[in-house]
């Protein structure tokens, strides 16, 4: 499980307004240079970036596996959906999942994903409480296989097949998506994956990334 993700942003106020007012997530920490919001089991923290820096990330939220249509109806008035071949819901047969993509005010690619392998269906009306946890966080690195090796040492192992360009590590409750630096993010025509300061805390470790793609892992066991 991904418990916390710390990222940087060049538009702190706009981001706080978006995550608190537009998505309806509770602000659990705030000061002049950062804020944190709670997505059920996970915390998202944004800190102010250095002047001139415009960091961009990709992350996803798990939603109830049976509520992708409800999620689309809920999110559509709030954001501009990124379509794929004219479709607002993207289907992933090999992952047995459906997703919706949109940008936040900083240009991060945000995803709502319904993973049908998970036993998390709900009969409740879709709401901010339906953003169950951080499901994925993108990790741009210079060497995907080396990153996988480091993650495997603390028990975060590859999920499904992987390549030198893309790999998912962990499980469907929380995946670290290691991508080759410079690879274009999925659902973006031009935004390339470059490393920016990033901290990921899971149940078993803390992963930090710096702007030079330097990656460090501290195990909790």
Question: What are the pLDDT tens digits along the chain (221 aa)?
Answer: 999 999 999 999 999 999 999 999 999 999 999 999 999 999 999 999 998 899 999 999 999 999 999 999 999 999 999 999 999 999 999 999 999 999 999 999 999 999 999 999 999 999 999 999 999 999 999 999 999 999 999 999 999 999 999 999 999 999 999 999 999 999 987 778 999 999 999 999 999 999 887 899 999 86
Superfamily, domain 2-219: 2,3-Dihydroxybiphenyl 1,2-Dioxygenase, domain 1 (3.10.180.10)
∠ CA(88), CA(89), CA(91), 5° rounding? Answer: 140
What's the Rg (C-alpha) of the chain?
16
H/E element, 73: helix 68-75
* Helices (runs of H) and strands (runs of E) counted in the chain: 3, 14
What percentage of the chain reaches a pLDDT higher than 90? 93
Domain ranges of the chain: 2-219
Whole-model pTM: value is 0.96
**Cα–chain-centroid distance for residue 71?**
17
Q: Is 180 helix (H, G, I), strand (E, B) or coil?
A: strand
> What is the rounded distance in angstroms from the CA atom of residue 156 to the CA atom of residue 202?
10
> DSSP character for 109?
E
> What is the rounded distance in angstroms from the CA atom of residue 30 to the CA atom of residue 39?
16
Q: Which two tokens stand for residue 66?
A: 């049976």
pLDDT in the model for residue 52 = 86
> What is the rounded distance in angstroms from the CA atom of residue 56 to the CA atom of residue 75?
21
pLDDT in the model for residue 90 = 98
- Dihedral, CA atoms, 181, 7, 136, 102, nearest 10 degrees? -90
Q: Are 25 and 131 contacting, i.e. CB atoms less than 8 angstroms apart? A: yes
Among residues 5, 25, 2, 21, which one has the least CA distance to residue 13?
Answer: 21
> What is the rounded distance in angstroms from the CA atom of residue 23 to the CA atom of residue 61?
12
Q: Which two tokens stand for residue 137?
A: 């966080």
Q: Is 181 helix (H, G, I), strand (E, B) or coil?
A: coil
CA distances from 219 to 53, 201, 202, 209 (A): 30, 10, 10, 15
Q: Is 51 exposed, middle or buried (0-12, 13-18, 19+ CB in 10 A)?
A: exposed
């Amino acid at each position: 499980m991904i418990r916390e993700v710390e990222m940087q942003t060049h538009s702190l106020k706009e981001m706080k307004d978006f995550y608190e007012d537009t998505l309806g997530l509770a602000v659990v920490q705030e000061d002049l240079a950062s804020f944190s919001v709670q997505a059920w089991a996970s915390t998202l923290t944004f800190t102010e970036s250095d002047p001139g820096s415009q960091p961009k990330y990709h992350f996803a939220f798990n939603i109830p596996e049976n509520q992708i249509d409800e999620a689309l109806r809920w999110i559509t008035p709030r954001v501009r959906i990124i379509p794929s071949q004219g479709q607002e819901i993207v289907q992933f047969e090999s992952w047995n999942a459906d997703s919706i993509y949109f940008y936040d005010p900083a240009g991060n690619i945000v995803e709502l994903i319904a993973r049908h392998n998970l036993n998390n269906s709900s009969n409740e009306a879709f709401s901010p409480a339906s953003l169950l946890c951080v499901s994925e966080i993108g990790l741009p690195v210079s060497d995907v296989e080396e990153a996988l090796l480091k993650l495997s040492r603390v028990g975060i192992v590859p999920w499904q097949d992987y390549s030198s360009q893309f790999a998912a590590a962990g499980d469907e409750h929380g995946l670290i998506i290691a991508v080759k630096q410079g690879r274009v993010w999925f659902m973006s025509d031009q935004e390339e994956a470059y490393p920016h300061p990033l901290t990921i805390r899971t149940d078993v470790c803390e992963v930090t990334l710096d702007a030079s793609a330097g990656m460090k892992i501290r195990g909790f066991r």
